[in-house]
Amino acid sequence: MKCFSEACDRNQDPILAVLKEILPGSGRVLEIGSGTGQHAAYFSRALPDLNWQPSDLADAHLSIKAWREESGAPNLSAPIVIDLLSDNGSPGVVDAIVCINTIHIVAWAGVERLFSLAESILKPHGVLYCYGPYRYGDRALEPSNVAFDHWLKAQNPVSGVRDYEVIKALAESTGFYLGGDRSMPANNRSIWWVRRTAPNVSALSAA
């Protein structure tokens, strides 16, 4: 049941280069929408001081477990269920969240849940890293992403390339600010959001 994704194989090194810059040196990283489990196996090997927690819908777990078993990395945990469309409990506090090629798949309510979950479990200054294509208000969507958007919507009308400005408004309304936005291969972006210090902590230090 070990599934393989060519896209993961292509994008894992460019993504890893960004993760090395922005993730903390140690701590617990929650991956949402781990898919095949390839990224979890690759990133946990490359970042041995981080504890990598993969997650996805239960259907994906067999493949994630197979990649984990093959990897043998001691810092790669067994997958847990996180369904962004259901309120299925909290995975506990984490230092960072990584979500690759998932926000254009899940329905908008799931994107909102991603940010509200991140707000509730990320430590202050923790990073929510999202990888994928975006539509920006000040420029035309790249032809490859126009085609991808049509394809996504044909698979499921709730999916589609998200508007950067809409995501930014959602991020800001849930207590995040933009950490960075970087161009990636194949017209994708690495965008990371940083959790603001909890309001009560700011209030205490200002007092």
Binding site for ligand SAM (CB under 6 A): 5, 7-8, 33-36, 39, 56-57, 60, 82-85, 100-102, 105-106, 110
Cβ burial, residue 19 (10 Å; 0-12/13-18/19+): buried
Identify the three-state secondary structure at position 129: strand
Q: What letter does residue 85 receive in the DSSP assignment?
A: T
Q: How far is the CB of 102 from ligand SAM (least distance, A)?
A: 4
CB of 198 to ligand SAM, least distance (A): 26
How far apart (Å, rounded) are the C-alpha atoms in residues 73 and 77? 9
User: Closer to ligand SAM at the Cβ: 130 or 171?
Assistant: 130
Please give the span between the terminal C-alpha atoms of the chain, in angstroms, as a whole number: 56
Select 36 or 51, whichever has its Cβ closest to ligand SAM: 36
Longest dimension (CA), the chain: 56
**CB 193, min distance to ligand SAM, A:** 17
Shortest distance, position 13 Cβ to ligand SAM, whole Å: 13
Nearer to ligand SAM, 84 or 171 (CB): 84
Q: Which string of DSSP letters, residue by residue, matches 160-202?
A: -PEEHHHHHHHHHHTTEEEEEEEEEGGGEEEEEEEEPPPHHHH
As a whole number of angstroms, the distance between CA 172 and CA 126 comes to 14
Which of 17/204 has CB closer to ligand SAM?
17
Distance in Å, CB of 203 to ligand SAM, minimum = 34
Q: Which is nearer to ligand SAM, 13 or 204 (CB)?
A: 13
The least CB distance from residue 22 to ligand SAM, in Å, is: 17
User: Is 164:134 a contact under the CB 8 Å cutoff?
Assistant: yes
Give, in order, the Cα–Cα distances in Å from 140 to each of 146, 157, 178, 186, 191: 9, 21, 22, 15, 19
Report the residue closest to ligand SAM, judged by CB. 35
State which residue, 182 or 196, has the beta carbon closest to ligand SAM.
182
